[in-house]
Structure 1
Amino acid sequence: MKKHVFSAGLIMLLIAGQVSAQEFVSKRNIDNNGRVDLITFNSGLSAKSTNVNDILKQSLNLDSRSTLQSIKTDLDPSSSFIDEKFQLYYDGIKVQYVVYTLHSQNGKMESLSGNVFPITDVTTKPTLNAASALNSAIKHTSAQKYMWEDAEYVKENSYKKPDGELVLIPIEQNDGSFKLLLAYKFDIYAAQPLSREYVYVDALDGKILMTDAIIKHANNFYGDNATSSHNESSIENSAVLNAKLALVSGTAATRYSGSQTISTTLVGSSYTLRDSSRGSGVFTYNLKKGTALKSTDFTDNDNNWTAAEFNNSTYDNAALDAHWGVSNTYDYFKNTFNRNSYNNAGAVLKSYVHYSSGYENAYWSGSEMVYGDGASTFSPLTALDVTAHELGHAVCEYSANLVYARESGAINEGLSDIWGAVVENAYAPTKQNFLIGEDITKTSPYYLRSMSNPNSGLGAQPDTYLGTYWKAATSSCSPSQANDQCGVHSNSGVLNHFFYILTQGKSGTNDIGNAFSVTGIGFAKSAKIIYRMETSYLTSNSTYANVLTYAIQSAKDLYGGGSAEAIATQNALYAVGLGTAYSGGSTADTIAPSTPTNLAASGTTSVATNLSWTASTDNVGVTGYDVYSGSTLLGNTASTTTSITGLVASTTYSFSVKAKDAAGNASASSNVLSVTTGSTTTPPVSYCASKGNSTSDEKISKVVFGTISNSSTGTAGYENFATQIANVNKGSAYTITITPKWTSTSYNEGYAVFIDYNGDGDFADAGETVFTKAASKTTPVSGSITIPASAITGNTRMRVSMKYNGIPTSCETFSYGQVEDYTLNIKATGTVNSLTNVKVNSAINIYPNPVKDVLNITAEGNFSYQIYSESGQMVMSGEANEKMLNVQKLTTGLYLIKISQNGKTTSHKLVKK
């Protein structure tokens, strides 16, 4: 099937007819993930044109099966921008999380933002019905009770057993790309044990494709998140109810913020924590340590809610904080951005206080806010920054709708912390606004998170992108409660610190060696930039790369390009490891970075070596490093480590490194390092066959050993991952971790790992069965493997086997399970690094790479070539004057091609697909 990519290969239909994209597109911004995230138009395109939808479709290169449906139009109160959001549909099916926003000003189209995903081989016809898919979702959740079984909750909130919505959902693949898959979407709200999440079930085979947490729980973090849609019929009911009641002002002795004025309602002869003056109402209810969400009022007989009455053993004064805090949060968004409740349509705001017993969390459920009373770590979790944090998630739901996992989830969390700080500054400026949870934390340090110093607090966070305390958030991380949905709380520290620096200003050097100096712009301006970024630009799968684009663009929208606010925004992002420092203005940067030092090599083999060096510094900032072999530039990298591949055996190379900055200034060269490659690759050997006949019920999901961390999606009974190499040292111990994957039912699985230590092509020698695990349902399984001193030096094979209900042998074919092969590079001594590839460039290059049929070679005149398999066996050779080689007969795998011309030989790594 033809592959369709909706990126920016742009053709547009204007009044004059069909014209070239270059005539109306000013710029296509490519984020750090290599995807278009912002298209800027040339001036003059009317936002009122009757064919705007066609313009956008053609701008995104959408085919006839794709449609864009306008779902929301907002006028930014802080600027003259009109932002119109469009939902993508394919064959009439909603593409979940894919929304584009058209930004117009003064009647002219300015830009189009949103994440771009490929449409490749999309299936739009389900083979599974919704009822069967729901059974799969319920089986996955495995709860004892669901909220649709709670008659009282259903009556009040119109929540019912989900029917399921058929959607197309972008699923991230192991290589970081996305594929659209057909799925049923279910909102599964479980009462016992408590959970709420979107569950996406494959509409073809019933597998769980992904979940998106609506409620989340994690130790040392109060639980939250808002990525839910829900029925608002209860809003009208609440509004009608309050129209019949008398609204009055009362005085409340709050637990955390002193005496405050609150809005209450007289019901009969008692005053209640009900307020109909804000949207469709602010209601605060008493759960009395129960878990069923019932609307039981707190009451007072004279509307003077005193400490004598409510500072009691059940912490009832905490309800006064919740009521006051939610009201203030509503007021902040209404008064500052003219936003009427979290959905901008007056949604009712319900708070449930005293949830459960000893409950150390608070959360936004997608419908209401729920607060526990705490226990050993927290006091009742109703402080002002907590309530604002929770409602911040609700605002996110109805604007950016960020998926609660990996980087998008970290941005979700960071935005809520920001609104906690902003609201606290507006209504309680004497509090420590850049500390989160300082009022409720009982243990030292007496705050949960710090925006000024994210490395501190109960939950240490990174203050620099990919810096200290950064948690793995790539596609290889499978989100779960156990890993904090791949670090959503930990990695939110980057956005938190960016906001702090933008607001207050700061000078220093970040974790990746970049010196920065930022002049703060204050709470009011920084909050406006964040709000515009969140509500007008960010989308569900946005990453920090998109934050870089959209925060700067938001500052330009509000204050103009080159403004002090836009400069501060760019420099504050640079301070946390995103992008480059601002280099505009009349004075050119002529100061070169300092010289890189301590260039060293490790893990050298016959065809590769790893280089590392000490970071340089610069007056503006280091943007990268150029790596040289002699006088030949091999490539560049943003890291201070890299791998050089495609080297020739038994050859001496001289490497050096130079640092560069954004203005193009280059440092002096580092020390010159001499590296000699090994003599040969490991001789070819042939290993016995081993496989499982069926992986329909169980397979290997992930193997981690040394530098190998492989999440496999293949379904063959044998998978050859010999191109994945772990460098290991003799005498060192390494942990092997194997994670199984079951289709539905969990079965007992046995495991074994074999290493051909003497390189003789089998696993039959003493000590080569290095790990076994009796059959069980444990997941994952782990063990320690020590590389013996007697092992060969160089590459050898490691086999990982998983077998149903028994321990596998090395050459066995069994009924159920899977076998995977890997390569170990065994070294005598030394430390092994896991580094980033730098492509070897020279006068001769090859493409495409990976290659399927024909390999193109850039070379002048005749040349000779030899192609070697990964094991070192020559598989092709010859003389050529044509610049194309037919490699169709090569099997899939990794090869080394050597090209000789005029007495010089270059080597290149070649991947055959």
Structure 2
Amino acid sequence: MEKKLQKIIVLTFASSMLSLTSFAQKTEKGISQKNLSENGSPSLITFNEKSEYKRSDFQKALKDQLKLDNKQTYSKIKAESDKDGFTHEKFQLYHEGIKVEFATYSIHSKNDKIASMSGEYYTINKVNTKPTLSAEAAFEKALNQIGAKNYLWENQADATVMNYSKPKGELVLLPSMEEQGLKRKKDNVRLAYKFDIYATNPISRGDIYIDAETGQTLFYNATIKHLGEFSHGGKTVSSEKKGTNADKVNFAIVAANAATRYSGTQTLQTTLSGLSYILSDGTRGNGVQTYNSARTATYPTTNFTDADNNWTAAEFNNTNKDNGALDAHWGAEMTYDYWSAVHARNSYDNAGAKIKSYVHYNLIAAGYPDNNNAFWNGSVMTYGDGSGTGGFDILTALDVAGHEIGHAVCTYTANLAYQKESGAMNEAFSDIWGACIEYRAAPTKSTWLIGEDIERRTGHLSLRSMSNPKTEGQPDTYGGTNWYNVSCTPSSSNDQCGVHRNSGVLNHWFYILSVGKSGTNDIGSAYNVTGITIDKAAKIAYRLESVYLSANSTYANARTYGIQSATDLYGAGSAEVIATTNAFYAVGVGAAYSGSSDTTAPTAPTSLAAAGTTSTTTNLTWAASTDNVAVTGYNVYNGTTLVTTVTGLAYTVTGLTASTAYTFTVKAKDAAGNLSAASTAVNVTTTASTITYCTSKGSSVAYEYIDNVAIGGIANATGANAGYGNFTNLTGNLPYGSNTIILSAAFASTAYTEYWRVWIDFNKNGTFETSEQMVAGSSSLSTNLSYTFTVPTTALAGTTRMRVSMKYNAAQTACETFSYGEVEDYTVNIGAAAITGFNNTIASELGNENNLFDYTIYPNPTNSFVNISMADNRKVSYRIINYLGQQVDAGKLSENAINVNKLSTGTYIIEINDGQKTMTKKLIKK
């Protein structure tokens, strides 16, 4: 027992190619450890009880440990206290009174004593501090480098929204940004002018540094952080500034129900302004407000409004995608709540900053090739509408909002420079916070996929995957497959040396730290990590970003500071420190945890038993290893496959298949990573499936019945089946993502309006839930009808029940008996490969009979004007689209004819939209 207790002692940092760690001599009084950066300066110093530094001695500590000369001073720029009793003070380095860019150092104190200090220090030997180039001349060189057509200071209204003005330039000393990580062996510091330049066509914003002697561009640090890696074109479309439509007479903050585009109906805060409600929340910090850019490349104060504060799908789920604004507003509120409740942070700046979101921003007009992006521009959130098929839907999903506002958090904490490894970690932290916010606010979503709600590209489930980065082209190992070589010159064309690609490494570290994983990484390191939960992992990640990392930190620095963060929170040698260390090892950064040299494994657990076995679950219990004091967890195995790691003595295995035999064992795991022998095996056979579905049928098929269902290889043409047909012997394959079903009705004589509903039991619980209704529509056609739906990634793989219901003249539920119509049940195989069993080109789209409308076009062909006549005089809008799919004209339909003189001779499509449904017809221009 004593030998085992010795295993859990003190964390020892093992040196490796990536750890870049150097220890202080034991004779150096008061220091526990000293980690050195590539240039030889200390990046982290921790003190022990022999240290005499008090919190008030910060200037002495900085001068002693960093060997400052008389030309160098530190000025305090920030001080914050956390709930763990630490005070963190950040200091900015000045040399001869000039700020040294990125050179910040932090003092971490507890109980009025300095516990540690960390940051970036640059040795400055000989440097010219007198510019030979004027600020005005440097500014002209900066503008020539940017090369934009327009700048924000030229649009005073938008500049005011951003609290932005034309930059005058700041004189700074800039360390060389060309070498980061292992290559930076010495410091090369240059005198430079720094300009914050916001271009609007093509759009960009960042700090550009111009050498104050030569006029050379030294570095560009992008402020605008995008959701993904996309190229930017230079196309220009004119836009017109919109004014506010909000009446400012009366204000009241009110809770509202809102049918969001991606997250169902949610409660959000609005403000009564005059006679309308607007998306403005005054209950969180200094406010959360969502505006409408109205397909322009501007930032107006135009509000989204609703008359009764019931923001329904009928009103906002339109072709303009206005329900995306509800997601943006709710997402900003949930992001604020996450930071407040979980990390005690008051908005992104920790001072209650107002969160502003702009929806329907026209990225094409801002110089992008398409609208498939969202970004934080240094002041506000900006969302494009996406391009739909082949790109993204409107980019206002919850994890996208969390990601982009996460960039703002980074600006006010680590301020990681947007290039190479520091930029990759900047992107990764945004993904981490997007996942955490989604996990807290919408736990049924796919936590570890980023952008899955907006994804519309063939062959992709999401923009990025934190659980398996390689599926979306990212590396899961430092320097491994898909790693972007950072020995390059950062530019927009190489994504600032791969910041969106290489973020996969820290993303995967966080995933492994949260849930655990075993395997062998791309550089041949075998690992076995016990997860500590996403909540604990988030605390470590936040401390890493907010307390320790600085502008030019590398992955090696992240490992050092991550371990220190875990030590601060949970103690040296804790399970959390072990997991943090080994999760970095798993992604190829640094060595595995080595708490002691002991390699003796614990004794095997005993008395493994199974009880309460059902068709899908069984309950396992066991007795502890006799070395239980040193055991940190128990691995549960199904055969040789690791199922999970738990800290207790019981586990309920779920997701089993009915009538199937399984063999389970358990192994004990200690702090040093040693595994015991396996326990005695327990054999389990699950029971047969006992799921019973509710009954539903039509009482009469004398007038109509289902005569065709085709999906995933099923092509079932049947006659009347007395109101119910059991076709569960037929199985259709449904891959995750988009699927199409073909349905048709048979009529004895007259065709009646029939309501169609299709449910699929995705969670296999025997109940057809509201969220499992995949098809809803009505039609009086006897021809084939098609309906496309999405199988969510949360659906359980394998076979399950699908119910098809057709009811006369009214919408139905999944479990009812009705007068006229029919119900049929089938089996579908979720996650199986797609099978095409029908030709959907012969099918009409299933719509809603109540929303059908018709219109006529005349004259057609035409050479000048065309008239549109609605059969029922409803109000509609129109779009004219050429055969390349490009919109060439649009507007509201009035009594006036549409002038098509400007169109070239040819064939076009004219689309009419009444806010709920669209119909298209051919238009010929002579």
**Distance in 2, Cα, partners of 1:248 & 1:491:** 43
Map of 1:208 onto structure 2:
217
**Distance in 1, Cα, partners of 2:305 & 2:254:** 14
CA RMSD of aligned residues (A): 2.7
Map of 2:853 onto structure 1:
none
Specify every segment of 5 or more residues in structure 1 that has no aligned partner in the other structure, as ranges.
1-6, 12-19, 224-237, 591-662, 664-913
**Distance in 1, Cα, partners of 2:250 & 2:60:** 50
Report the alpha carbon displacement of residue 207 of structure 1 after superposing the two structures with TM. Answer: 1.2
Which residue identity lines up with residue 167 of structure 1 in the other structure?
Answer: V
Map of 2:376 onto structure 1:
364
**Distance in 2, Cα, partners of 1:49 & 1:469:** 45
Task: Kindly report which structure 2 residues correspond to 1:133-148, keeping only aligned pairs within 5 A, or say none.
Answer: 133-148=138-153
Q: Say which of 108, 112, 118 aligns to 1:107.
A: 112
1:856-907, Cα deviation, whole Å (9 max, x unpaired): xxxxxxxxxxxxxxxxxxxxxxxxxxxxxxxxxxxxxxxxxxxxxxxxxxxx
| Distance 1:109-1:437 versus aligned 2 partners, 3 A rule | same
| Distance 1:416-1:219 versus aligned 2 partners, 3 A rule | closer
**Distance in 2, Cα, partners of 1:440 & 1:541:** 32
Which residue identity lines up with residue 255 of structure 2 in the other structure?
Answer: S
Q: Say which of 512, 518, 532 aligns to 1:501.
A: 512
Task: Kindly report which structure 2 residues correspond to 1:410-425, keeping only aligned pairs within 5 A, or say none.
Answer: 410-425=424-439
Report the alpha carbon displacement of residue 244 of structure 1 after superposing the two structures with TM. Answer: 7.1
Question: Given that residues 8 and 60 in structure 1 are in contact (C-alpha distance below 8 angstroms), is that contact kept between their aligned partners in structure 2?
Answer: no
Map of 1:716 onto structure 2:
none
Map of 1:637 onto structure 2:
none
Map of 1:541 onto structure 2:
552
Q: Say which of 397, 400, 404 aligns to 2:414.
A: 400
Report the alpha carbon displacement of residue 216 of structure 1 after superposing the two structures with TM. Answer: 4.8
**Distance in 2, Cα, partners of 1:508 & 1:33:** 34
Which residue identity lines up with residue 29 of structure 1 in the other structure?
Answer: N
Report the alpha carbon displacement of residue 124 of structure 1 after superposing the two structures with TM. Answer: 1.2
Map of 1:455 onto structure 2:
470
Q: Say which of 330, 334, 337 aligns to 1:328.
A: 334
TM-score by length of 1: 0.59
1:379-433, Cα deviation, whole Å (9 max, x unpaired): 0000000000001100000000000000000000010000010000000011000
**Distance in 1, Cα, partners of 2:549 & 2:22:** 19
**Distance in 1, Cα, partners of 2:464 & 2:564:** 28
Question: Given that residues 33 and 545 in structure 1 are in contact (C-alpha distance below 8 angstroms), is that contact kept between their aligned partners in structure 2?
Answer: no
Specify every segment of 5 or more residues in structure 2 that has no aligned partner in the other structure, as ranges.
1-20, 233-243, 365-369, 602-671, 673-926
1:515-547, Cα deviation, whole Å (9 max, x unpaired): 000110111100000000000000000000101
Report the alpha carbon displacement of residue 218 of structure 1 after superposing the two structures with TM. Answer: 8.6
Map of 1:150 onto structure 2:
155
**Distance in 1, Cα, partners of 2:599 & 2:494:** 46
Which residue identity lines up with residue 332 of structure 2 in the other structure?
Answer: V
Which residue identity lines up with residue 540 of structure 1 in the other structure?
Answer: A
Question: Given that residues 284 and 322 in structure 1 are in contact (C-alpha distance below 8 angstroms), is that contact kept between their aligned partners in structure 2?
Answer: yes
Report the alpha carbon displacement of residue 176 of structure 1 after superposing the two structures with TM. Answer: 2.7
- The answer to whether 1:176 aligns with 2:184 is yes
Question: Given that residues 265 and 272 in structure 1 are in contact (C-alpha distance below 8 angstroms), is that contact kept between their aligned partners in structure 2?
Answer: yes
Q: Say which of 560, 582, 591 aligns to 1:580.
A: 591
| Distance 1:294-1:28 versus aligned 2 partners, 3 A rule | same
Task: Kindly report which structure 2 residues correspond to 1:297-696, keeping only aligned pairs within 5 A, or say none.
Answer: 297-356=303-362, 358-375=370-387, 376-443=390-457, 444-457=459-472, 460-474=473-487, 477-585=488-596, 587-588=598-599
Map of 1:188 onto structure 2:
197
**Distance in 2, Cα, partners of 1:157 & 1:391:** 15
Which residue identity lines up with residue 536 of structure 1 in the other structure?
Answer: V
Which residue identity lines up with residue 186 of structure 1 in the other structure?
Answer: F
Question: Given that residues 145 and 190 in structure 1 are in contact (C-alpha distance below 8 angstroms), is that contact kept between their aligned partners in structure 2?
Answer: yes
| Distance 1:220-1:116 versus aligned 2 partners, 3 A rule | closer
Task: Kindly report which structure 2 residues correspond to 1:752-791, keeping only aligned pairs within 5 A, or say none.
Answer: none
Report the alpha carbon displacement of residue 125 of structure 1 after superposing the two structures with TM. Answer: 1.2
Map of 1:199 onto structure 2:
208
Give the secondary structure class of the aligned counterpart of 1:155: helix
Map of 1:123 onto structure 2:
128
| Distance 1:125-1:537 versus aligned 2 partners, 3 A rule | same
Question: Given that residues 43 and 109 in structure 1 are in contact (C-alpha distance below 8 angstroms), is that contact kept between their aligned partners in structure 2?
Answer: no
**Distance in 1, Cα, partners of 2:250 & 2:66:** 52
- The answer to whether 1:24 aligns with 2:30 is yes
Map of 1:683 onto structure 2:
none
1:325-372, Cα deviation, whole Å (9 max, x unpaired): 011001100111111111111111110000115411000000001000
Report the alpha carbon displacement of residue 58 of structure 1 after superposing the two structures with TM. Answer: 2.1
Report the alpha carbon displacement of residue 577 of structure 1 after superposing the two structures with TM. Answer: 0.6
Task: Kindly report which structure 2 residues correspond to 1:869-880, keeping only aligned pairs within 5 A, or say none.
Answer: none
Question: Given that residues 47 and 107 in structure 1 are in contact (C-alpha distance below 8 angstroms), is that contact kept between their aligned partners in structure 2?
Answer: no
**Distance in 1, Cα, partners of 2:69 & 2:426:** 32
Give the secondary structure class of the aligned counterpart of 1:360: coil
Task: Kindly report which structure 2 residues correspond to 1:229-240, keeping only aligned pairs within 5 A, or say none.
Answer: none
- The answer to whether 1:65 aligns with 2:71 is yes
Greater length-normalized contact order (CA 8 Å, ≥ 6 residues apart): 2
**Distance in 2, Cα, partners of 1:242 & 1:339:** 31
- What is the number of residues matched between the two proteins? 559
Question: Given that residues 475 and 482 in structure 2 are in contact (C-alpha distance below 8 angstroms), is that contact kept between their aligned partners in structure 1?
Answer: yes
| Distance 1:351-1:338 versus aligned 2 partners, 3 A rule | same
**Distance in 1, Cα, partners of 2:293 & 2:151:** 18
Map of 1:254 onto structure 2:
260
Give the secondary structure class of the aligned counterpart of 1:455: helix
Which residue identity lines up with residue 456 of structure 1 in the other structure?
Answer: T
| Distance 1:512-1:9 versus aligned 2 partners, 3 A rule | closer
Which residue identity lines up with residue 291 of structure 2 in the other structure?
Answer: Y
**Distance in 2, Cα, partners of 1:544 & 1:318:** 36
Question: Given that residues 355 and 371 in structure 1 are in contact (C-alpha distance below 8 angstroms), is that contact kept between their aligned partners in structure 2?
Answer: yes
Report the alpha carbon displacement of residue 214 of structure 1 after superposing the two structures with TM. Answer: 1.1
**Distance in 2, Cα, partners of 1:510 & 1:552:** 20
Question: Given that residues 43 and 108 in structure 1 are in contact (C-alpha distance below 8 angstroms), is that contact kept between their aligned partners in structure 2?
Answer: no
| Distance 1:511-1:589 versus aligned 2 partners, 3 A rule | farther
**Distance in 2, Cα, partners of 1:221 & 1:318:** 22
Which residue identity lines up with residue 168 of structure 1 in the other structure?
Answer: L
Give the secondary structure class of the aligned counterpart of 2:334: helix
Give the secondary structure class of the aligned counterpart of 1:97: strand
Report the alpha carbon displacement of residue 242 of structure 1 after superposing the two structures with TM. Answer: 9.7
Give the secondary structure class of the aligned counterpart of 2:446: coil
Report the alpha carbon displacement of residue 463 of structure 1 after superposing the two structures with TM. Answer: 0.4
1:456-496, Cα deviation, whole Å (9 max, x unpaired): 12xx111011111100113xx11111101001011000000
Give the secondary structure class of the aligned counterpart of 1:574: helix
| Distance 1:9-1:467 versus aligned 2 partners, 3 A rule | closer
TM-score by length of 2: 0.58
**Distance in 2, Cα, partners of 1:538 & 1:171:** 19
| Distance 1:317-1:365 versus aligned 2 partners, 3 A rule | same
**Distance in 1, Cα, partners of 2:188 & 2:408:** 28
Question: Given that residues 538 and 547 in structure 1 are in contact (C-alpha distance below 8 angstroms), is that contact kept between their aligned partners in structure 2?
Answer: yes
Which residue identity lines up with residue 411 of structure 1 in the other structure?
Answer: M
**Distance in 1, Cα, partners of 2:537 & 2:30:** 32
Question: Given that residues 32 and 545 in structure 1 are in contact (C-alpha distance below 8 angstroms), is that contact kept between their aligned partners in structure 2?
Answer: no
Give the secondary structure class of the aligned counterpart of 2:188: strand
**Distance in 2, Cα, partners of 1:54 & 1:172:** 29
Which residue identity lines up with residue 470 of structure 1 in the other structure?
Answer: W
Give the secondary structure class of the aligned counterpart of 1:29: strand
| Distance 1:50-1:80 versus aligned 2 partners, 3 A rule | closer
Question: Given that residues 195 and 216 in structure 1 are in contact (C-alpha distance below 8 angstroms), is that contact kept between their aligned partners in structure 2?
Answer: no
**Distance in 2, Cα, partners of 1:244 & 1:110:** 53
Report the alpha carbon displacement of residue 585 of structure 1 after superposing the two structures with TM. Answer: 4.6
**Distance in 2, Cα, partners of 1:379 & 1:514:** 39
Question: Given that residues 38 and 184 in structure 2 are in contact (C-alpha distance below 8 angstroms), is that contact kept between their aligned partners in structure 1?
Answer: no
